[in-house]
Structures are given as structure tokens and as C-alpha cells.
Amino acid sequence: MKKPRIDDFDPNAKERKLNSSMDNFPTIQKPSEGPIQPQITRTVVPPVLPVPLTRRKIKQRHPFDIYEDQLEELRKLSVEDRMAGGVGSMSAMVRAALDAFIAKKRGR
């Protein structure tokens, strides 16, 4: 059983100050009445890729199975390309690799 503090029952005792974990926080104040200045953020727009002379129709979502390590390397290359200021399109990388593979197989 807890032992009661005698000071808690004495009407003439000095009032204790209660502590709070928020004692060191700044006080909330009314905002100033001046005009609000919007913060302007500048974004870097990646350069537009050149359009090939012959338009090629893109086939949407054809499932192919690839290995996990291939996908991971493709993701890494995409991030590196974005950090270097490029677009980082994994689809564009795969299409370029397929073009190179087909050209090599056809002897072009």
C-alpha cells in the first residue's frame, strides 16, 4: 500500500509546482497579420527524348518472365539514370535491349 504524503492534507502547506514534459516547448502565438509569401520550389525537368523518325506502336503489358537479379539490376540502372538527370524508364531500357538483341540475331 502506498504511503500518503502528509503535505497533501495540510491546508497551510506550500503548493507544489507540477512538472510537465511540455514545459520546454515554445508557446503558441497568433500568426502575424502580414501577407503570406508562397514558397516557390523549382523542379528540374528532364530533357525530352528524341522521337524516332518512324513511329512504332507500343504493345501494352505483354507478360514475360525474367529473373529476380535481372529486375534488380534494371531497377538499379533506372535509379542511377534518374540521379544523373535522365528519365530512368525501365521500359525504354528493355525496348532498347530487345532492339539490340533482334538486330544482333538478324545480323543487322
Chain segment 26-72, per-residue pLDDT in tens: 888 887 777 777 777 777 777 777 766 677 777 788 788 999 999 99
Beta carbons within 8 Å of 92's beta carbon, 6+ residues apart: 49
* Total-model pTM: 0.46
CA–CA distance, 74 with 91 (Å, rounded to integer): 10
d(CA 32, CA 35): 9
Residue 18: pLDDT over 70: yes
Query: Within the chain, where are the H helices?
Result: 68-83, 90-106
Neighbour-count burial of 81, counting CB atoms closer than 10 A to its CB (0-12 exposed, 13-18 middle, 19+ buried): middle
Instruction: Answer for the pair 8, 18: CB distance below 8 angstroms, yes or no.
Output: no
